Amino acid sequence: MLVENTLFGIDDKVEKAIARLQSWENSAIKMNAEGYHVAFSGGKDSIVILDLVRRAGVKHTTHYQMTTVDPPELIYFIRENYTDVEFHKPEKTMWDLIVEKRMPPTRRVRYCCEYLKERGGSGSMVVTGVRWAESARRANRKMVEPCFKDDRKVYLHAIIDWSEDDVWQYIRERKMKYCCLYDEGFTRVGCIMCPMAEKRRHNDAKRWPKFASAYIRAFQRMIEKRVKDGLETKWKTGQEVYDWWMNEPKRTKIDESQGVLFE
User: 261 pLDDT exceeds 50?
Assistant: no
Q: What is the pLDDT of residue 7?
A: 67
Q: What is the pLDDT of residue 199?
A: 78
Instruction: Please state the domain extents for the chain.
Output: 3-184, 195-250
Identify the architecture of domain 3-184 in CATH: 3-Layer(aba) Sandwich (3.40)
79: pLDDT strictly greater than 70: yes
Task: Give the pLDDT mean for 32-45.
Answer: 97
Average pLDDT, the chain: 91
Measured from the Cβ of residue 209, the count of other Cβ atoms closer than 10 Å reads 10
More confident position, 256 or 122: 122
pLDDT band at 250 (very low <50, low <70, confident <90, very high): low
Instruction: Please compute the mean of the pLDDT values over residues 167-177 and round it to a whole number.
Output: 98
Residue 210 or residue 198, greater confidence: 210
Q: What is the mean pLDDT of residues 56-64?
A: 98
251: pLDDT strictly greater than 70: no
Q: Give me the pLDDT at residue 249, please.
A: 66
* pLDDT surpasses 90 at 54: yes
H or E element that contains 111: helix 111-112
In tens, the pLDDT along 5-30 reads 776 778 899 999 999 999 999 999 99
| Res 258 pLDDT > 80 | no
179-193, 203-217, 238-252: which has the minimum mean pLDDT? 238-252
First and final CA of the chain: distance in angstroms? 49
The pLDDT of residue 262 is above 50: no
Task: Look at residues 85, 107, 98 and name the one whose alpha carbon lies nearest to residue 201.
Answer: 107
Model's pTM, two decimal places?
A: 0.90
DSSP 188-245: ---STT-GGGTTHHHHHHHH-HHHHHHHHHHHHHHHHHHHHTT---S--SHHHHHHHH
Mean pLDDT over 244-253 rounds to 72
